[in-house]
Amino acid sequence: MKRCIACGMPMETQADFAMGDENKDYCIHCARPDGSMQSYEEKLKSMTGFIVKTQGLDEEAAQHAAKGMMAKLPAWKGI
């Protein structure tokens, strides 16, 4: 099983992959409508929103958590 390089989501079925393309290293949640991978800023914004919604953290705490998680992922190493 592959994991998304941009958010860490397990990609178990073809539908989990960007554009349904199992050769891509990122998931449907990290892809733009054209199939390219979101930028760091785009992913940070969406991951922050997800954390606020699912964990109830305020925006600042959620962004801090998102940055910490993203720093450990292959797509964002060194950013």
Cβ–Cβ < 8 Å for 54, 65: no
Q: Which residue has the tokens 């305020």?
A: 58
- The residue range of the domain holding 49 is 2-76
Q: Reply yes or no on whether the pLDDT at 79 is more than 90.
A: no
* Confidence class for position 78, pLDDT limits 50, 70, 90: confident
The 10s digit of each residue's pLDDT in 3-35 is 999 999 999 999 999 999 999 999 999 999 999
3-state secondary structure of 17: strand
pLDDT tens digits, residue range 45-74? 999 999 999 999 999 999 999 999 999 999
Count structural domains, the chain.
1
